Structure formats: structure tokens, C-alpha cells
């Protein structure tokens, strides 16, 4: 067989699938019916609901538009009947009425001076191909759809109409009340017109923009991932929404129009959105954008000032973020600042202790580096920590801990001296800065106390705050504790409570010895679980030896300083 030509066409059997063109939700119905009314030139849409029985109801949607002049077009798939201008601007596909497919519908319409007509469409008429009778009727110009639905869906219908009318350009009356409307770009920081679109720029601190539609097509709103620009070390995001005025190049997927068609125009729109955002930022006078963003704005012809100066003063982070306290705003400024990159939690805790123990002035100038600012003059001229290492002396032995090196794991955790060495690059030249300290905690891949590599200076160091068991335990908690999200594990508070018992025991044993550690653990257990049982004014005596325990309560000794009772 020879085939000379072919052409695209629609198989007649496709009509049997029309009930699956839409999700059949009240939202689909509201969106499509209101869009058809607007295209028909309506200036008002009236919606009402009526309960027909205990389980059935009717949703009635009427408009005062041009009406449908040819009833045959109503159920002709793909035949919209719109004029050329509407076809150019909006790309109507002639499928909207099929959002009602599979439902009982009464429809009536009148176009101009012609006689009105009406029809009843049963559930099966949408796919059967059977003829549907058309009757003459007397009515005003416009179109009315009466849609039968479940009475249990009335509230869903109300919500759907309210949502569809919120950014709709025409008044919608629902059960006698005008539905409140709102400009889609209300509260925008900046608005500009581009290619038949209104682009509104917003700031968002809570990520709400991720959950809201970003494009409004005459009341039909859709989600689309428009560009966003985040400021450094801030929750503030710059985002945008687009309101369509007249932009045929921006197309929505058919039939339900719930997504944007990806095309070269979408890339142009993304660039326009970024330009609008940078314009909005420029109007603010200051910003905390990355240098990369600053350069992009310049390429788009928008000259921004340098990012506002300010970095976070170094505070050690905890391995478990729940224990971290580094939430101070980035307010530290000056040309004498020293940048330091993020380290392992144990290394940061060790460095923090060295800064406290040595009381070195560098503690007031050490700030968190922010690579995104690299390129700004004020940032590039700052000094930078190139490396950090710890030197440990125990007797005649010298141990050097370079970050990410081997664990020292000393048999005796008490050593003679520890020094932290910071190599700092200033104006391209290295300088070594030494801090005498009394504690070194090395990172442990298992992050548990059993495998922790710990070194403390025997007797502490002169002029420094003493490293007590309580202080050491807190460093251990911050360096190594990590709660588990496993459903079989205890809660965070329970895990932390048990961990802190172990870390205190280890801290006392490291600083004071095994006997003191046992005594302290017994004391802590008594204070946690038993002390509250001892009556006020009583003294508890407890003796435990060779498996035998005796306990007695007696009146507490009188206070010799107390005045005599009259």
C-alpha cells in the first residue's frame, strides 16, 4: 500500500475519555466556568447553591456575557467558538466545559437578540455520542450552568468559588454576597511591566512563597518556580509573582491549565524576574547579597553598592545543632578581623577553650568566614586563618595534632602542656599565633565518649580559669553528643540526660581520678533520685559494705547559731 500524505486528526473514540480530561474537582469547575464567563465579556458572575435532597445539591453559575450562539459547539471537543483576538491572547482550547463531564448539567444561553435555548445533559451523554435535545427558552443574554453535585461537597464548592474569584477581574456574587477580591501583587515591594506582564517583587522570611501560586492568569493561579535570590546569613528571600495582562507567549498546559508550558520565553521571563528583583534591592540602599549576585546584577545593568559589612564573631558550634548558641547577628566589622573557616565541632570547642584560657585579644577579632562575600574589597583585605594545630607535651614526648590527623589517644589523659597554633595569612604573609591552653578534644568518627581522644593539662595553667569537671563536661557534650532520630530511640531530652551523666563521670575521672569519679556519680544519683525523699529537718545515714546496706533517719542537729526557743 502506498500512502501519499497524512494529517493530524482526532480519533472519534477520544470522546470516550473526556471524563478524564479534568480531575472533576469543584476547583476545576470554578476555574473553567469563570474563565469562560470572562472570555464571553461578562461584567458579573452570579453563583448560588441549592440543596435538592439530603444527599444531592445544585451549583448554579450564571453570567451576563455574550452567550453561546450555536448549541452544537458546547460539546464539540476542541471547538471554542471564541473570536480571533481571544484566540490570540489566551489560547482557549475548547475543552473547559468538559470539566463538567460525567455530571448532570442543565445549561441555558442566549446570544444577542437571538432566542434563548436550553438543554439537559445526563451523566452518560458526555461519552455516548447520543443526541441531546435543545429547547427554546426565554431568558436574558448570557449563560447559566446548573450542575448537580453531592450535598456533602457544598463547602468544597464555596471554597473553590472563593479561591477562583480572589484574583478574578470581574465581580463574583456567591449566595447573595460579593466575593472579596485582591490584587495578586498586593504588598509587593516593587512592580514593573514587562512584555504584557506585571512582575511584583516580594521579600519573604518564612518560605511562604513556596506554598503560594506565583502566576495569575485572570484569576486562574498556578505554581511555577520563578527565580529567588537569598541574602547571606539571613532568612530573607527575594521572590516574585507574575500577573498576566496580555502575554500570548506565556502558555499554560492544556486542558486544566495548572502548569506553565516550558519554552524559550520562560527563560526570558526568569531573566526579567531576576532583573526586577535586583532593581527592588537597589532601591533599598543596602543588601547582603553574594558577590556572584552582585556581578549578575551588574551584567543586567543594575549597579548595586557593595554588600553591607558585618561578620559573625567566632563562637564554637556544637556537634548537635540543638546545643549550639552561635545565633548572634553578623555585626562585627573592621579591617583587623581574622577569618576562620568552619571546623569539626571538637576542634572548634578546643579552640574556644584556648581563647578563654589564654585570654588572647584575637578572640575579639576572630570571625566566621563567608565565602559568598569573596570578591568584595572589604572582605578580601581581611586576614585569614590558614591552619590550626595543637601541640601536646607529656614528659619528654611531643605530640602534634594537625586537623584531620590521627587521634592521639593518650593512655594518661593528663599532660604537661598544650598549645594551639594558628597560622594567619595577613597581606599574603603567614604569621604564627600561639595560645597556651589546658584542653584538647580530637574529633571522633563515632562521636561517643568511649572513643574520645582527650588531653588536659595537669594542674591547669597559670592565670586561667580552672578547668572544672562541670566545665569539661560541657565541652564534652558540645563536642561529641548527637541525638538519634531513630524511632526506637528515646527522646532528645532523655538521651541528653543519660549522656550528661556519662560525660560528667568522664570529666571527674579525667581531672580528679577514678575514686572521685565514683564518689561523684553516687552523689549525683542520690541528688537526682533519693534526696527529695528525705523529710525536711531529718538527717539520713547510709552505710554500705560487702553487699550489706543499712539506713537510718534521725533528727538533724540543731544549728548552734540559731537563737534559743522561748
Could you tell me which residues come within 8 angstroms of residue 317 by beta carbon, excluding any fewer than 6 positions away?
Answer: 324, 326, 342, 345, 348
Burial of 529 (0-12, 13-18, 19+ CB in 10 A): exposed
Query: How does 279-307 read in b/e, with b if 16+ C-beta sit within 10 Å?
Result: bbbeeeeebbbbbebbebbeebebebebb
- What does the domain layout of the chain look like in residue ranges? 12-178, 190-299, 321-483, 514-555
CA atoms within 13 A of residue 563's CA, in its CB half-sphere: 2
Tell me the C-alpha to C-alpha distance, in Å, between residue 513 and each of 146, 473, 477, 560. Answer: 87, 15, 20, 36
3-state secondary structure 194-208: ECCEEEEEEEECCCH
| pLDDT confidence of residue 99 | 79
Q: Kindly tell me if the per-residue pLDDT of 84 is higher than 90.
A: no
Tell me the C-alpha to C-alpha distance, in Å, between residue 438 and each of 13, 357, 392, 433. Answer: 84, 7, 10, 16
Instruction: For 260-326, give the DSSP string.
Output: BPP-HHHHHHHHHHHHHHHHHHHTTS-----HHHHHHHHHTT---PPPPP-BPBP-PPPSSGGG---
Q: Kindly tell me if the per-residue pLDDT of 109 is higher than 50.
A: yes
At 561, the pLDDT band (50, 70, 90 cuts) reads low
With beta carbons less than 8 A apart as the criterion, state whether 70 and 56 touch: no
Burial of 312 (0-12, 13-18, 19+ CB in 10 A): middle
At 85, the pLDDT band (50, 70, 90 cuts) reads low
Q: Which three cell numbers stand for residue 473?
A: 563536661
Q: Kindly tell me if the per-residue pLDDT of 428 is higher than 50.
A: yes
* Location of C-alpha cell 534521725: 554
| pLDDT confidence of residue 80 | 53
- Mean pLDDT in residue range 36-65: 93
Strand 56-63 and strand 142-150: the pairing is: antiparallel
| pLDDT confidence of residue 210 | 77
Most confident region among 119-123, 154-158, 255-259, 274-278 by mean pLDDT: 274-278
Please choose, from the candidates 475, 214, 192, 187, the residue with its C-alpha nearest in 3D space to the C-alpha of residue 357: 475
Phi, psi (rounded to 5 degrees) for 206: -125, 5
Positive or negative, the CA dihedral 249, 255, 259, 264 is negative
With beta carbons less than 8 A apart as the criterion, state whether 430 and 423 touch: yes
Tell me the C-alpha to C-alpha distance, in Å, between residue 152 and each of 26, 187, 348. Answer: 12, 36, 60
| pLDDT confidence of residue 326 | 62
With beta carbons less than 8 A apart as the criterion, state whether 266 and 251 touch: no
Predicted confidence (pLDDT) per residue in 313-346, tens digit: 999 999 998 888 766 788 999 999 999 999 999 9
Answer left, alpha or beta for residue 148, where phi above 0 means left and psi between -120 and 50 means alpha: beta
| Average pLDDT in the chain | 87
Predicted confidence (pLDDT) per residue in 437-447, tens digit: 999 999 876 66
- Mean pLDDT in residue range 27-51: 91
| pLDDT confidence of residue 69 | 87
3-state secondary structure 56-82: EEEEEEEECCCCCCCHHHCCCCCCCCC
CA angle 320/321/324 to nearest 5° reads: 105
Enter the DSSP assignment of 376. Answer: B
- Mean pLDDT in residue range 7-35: 66
Q: Kindly tell me if the per-residue pLDDT of 384 is higher than 60.
A: yes
Phi, psi (rounded to 5 degrees) for 368: -70, 130
Local structure of 433: helix, strand or coil: strand
With beta carbons less than 8 A apart as the criterion, state whether 143 and 106 touch: no
| pLDDT confidence of residue 19 | 52
- Mean pLDDT in residue range 193-201: 97
Predicted confidence (pLDDT) per residue in 199-241, tens digit: 999 998 767 777 889 999 989 899 999 999 999 988 889 999 9
Predicted confidence (pLDDT) per residue in 135-191, tens digit: 999 999 999 999 999 999 999 999 999 999 999 999 999 999 999 999 999 999 999
Structural domain 12-178, CATH architecture: 2-Layer Sandwich (3.30)
pTM above 0.85, yes or no: no
CA separation for the pair 8, 78 (Å, rounded): 14
Amino acid at each position: 500500500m502506498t500512502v501519499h500524505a497524512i494529517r493530524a486528526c482526532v480519533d472519534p473514540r477520544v470522546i470516550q475519555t473526556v471524563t478524564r480530561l479534568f480531575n472533576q474537582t469543584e476547583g476545576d469547575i470554578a476555574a473553567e466556568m469563570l474563565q469562560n464567563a470572562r472570555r464571553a465579556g461578562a461584567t458579573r458572575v452570579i453563583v448560588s447553591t441549592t440543596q435538592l435532597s439530603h444527599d444531592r445539591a445544585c451549583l448554579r453559575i450564571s453570567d451576563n456575557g455574550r452567550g453561546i450562539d450555536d448549541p452544537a459547539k458546547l460539546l464539540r471537543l476542541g471547538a471554542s467558538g471564541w473570536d480571533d483576538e481571544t484566540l490570540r491572547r489566551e489560547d482557549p482550547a475548547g475543552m473547559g466545559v468538559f470539566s463538567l463531564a460525567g455530571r448532570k448539567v442543565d445549561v441555558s444561553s442566549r446570544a444577542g437578540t437571538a432566542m434563548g435555548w436550553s438543554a439537559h445533559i445526563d451523566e452518560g451523554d458526555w461519552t455516548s455520542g447520543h443526541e441531546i435535545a435543545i429547547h427554546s427558552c426565554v431568558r436574558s443574554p448570557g449563560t447559566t450552568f446548573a450542575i448537580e453535585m453531592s450535598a456533602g461537597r457544598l463547602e468544597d464548592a464555596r471554597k473553590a468559588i472563593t479561591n477562583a474569584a480572589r484574583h478574578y477581574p470581574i465581580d463574583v456574587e456567591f449566595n447573595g454576597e460579593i466575593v472579596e477580591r485582591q490584587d495578586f501583587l498586593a504588598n509587593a515591594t516593587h512592580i514593573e511591566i514587562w512584555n504584557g506582564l506585571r512582575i511584583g517583587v516580594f521579600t519573604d522570611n518564612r518560605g511562604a512563597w513556596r506554598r503560594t501560586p506565583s502566576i495569575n492568569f485572570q484569576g486562574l493561579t498556578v505554581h511555577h518556580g520563578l527565580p529567588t535570590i537569598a541574602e547571606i546569613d539571613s532568612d530573607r528571600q527575594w521572590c516574585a509573582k507574575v500577573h498576566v495582562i496580555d502575554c500570548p507567549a506565556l502558555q499554560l498546559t492544556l486542558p486544566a491549565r495548572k502548569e506553565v508550558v516550558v519554552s524559550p520565553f520562560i527563560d526570558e521571563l526568569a531573566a526579567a524576574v531576576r532583573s526586577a528583583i535586583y532593581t527592588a534591592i537597589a532601591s533599598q540602599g543596602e543588601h547582603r547579597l553574594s558577590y556572584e549576585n552582585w556581578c549578575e546584577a551588574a551584567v543586567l545593568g543594575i549597579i548595586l553598592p557593595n554588600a553591607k559589612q558585618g561578620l559573625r564573631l567566632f563562637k564554637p558550634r556544637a556537634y548537635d545543632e540543638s546545643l549550639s548558641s552561635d545565633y548572634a547577628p553578623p555585626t562585627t566589622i573592621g579591617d583587623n578581623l581574622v577569618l576562620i573557616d568552619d571546623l569539626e565541632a571538637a576542634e572548634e570547642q578546643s579552640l574556644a577553650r584556648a581563647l578563654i584560657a589564654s585570654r588572647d585579644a584575637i578572640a575579639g577579632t576572630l570571625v566566621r568566614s563567608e565565602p559568598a562575600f569573596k570578591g568584595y574589597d572589604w572582605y578580601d583585605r581581611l586576614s585569614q586563618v590558614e591552619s590550626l594545630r595543637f601541640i601536646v607535651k607529656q614528659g619528654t614526648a611531643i605530640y602534634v595534632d594537625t586537623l584531620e590527623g590521627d587521634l592521639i589517644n593518650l593512655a594518661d589523659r593528663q599532660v604537661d602542656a598544650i598549645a594551639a597554633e594558628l597560622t594567619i595569612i595577613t597581606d599574603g604573609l603567614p604569621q604564627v599565633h600561639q595560645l597556651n591552653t589546658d584542653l584538647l578534644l580530637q574529633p571522633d568518627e563515632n562521636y561517643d565518649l568511649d572513643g574520645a581522644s582527650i588531653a588536659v593539662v595537669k594542674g591547669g595553667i597559670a592565670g586561667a580559669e580552672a578547668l572544672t569537671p562541670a566545665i569539661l563536661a560541657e565541652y564534652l557534650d558540645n563536642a561529641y553528643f548527637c541525638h538519634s532520630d531513630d524511632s526506637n530511640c528515646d527522646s532528645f531530652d532523655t538521651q541528653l540526660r543519660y549522656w550528661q551523666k556519662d560525660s560528667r563521670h568522664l570529666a571527674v575521672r579525667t581531672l580528679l581520678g577514678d575514686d572521685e569519679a565514683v564518689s561523684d556519680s553516687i552523689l549525683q544519683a542520690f541528688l537526682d533520685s533519693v534526696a527529695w525523699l528525705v523529710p525536711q529537718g531529718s538527717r539520713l545515714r547510709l552505710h554500705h559494705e560487702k553487699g550489706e546496706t543499712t539506713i537510718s533517719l534521725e533528727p538533724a542537729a540543731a544549728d548552734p547559731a540559731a537563737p534559743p526557743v522561748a
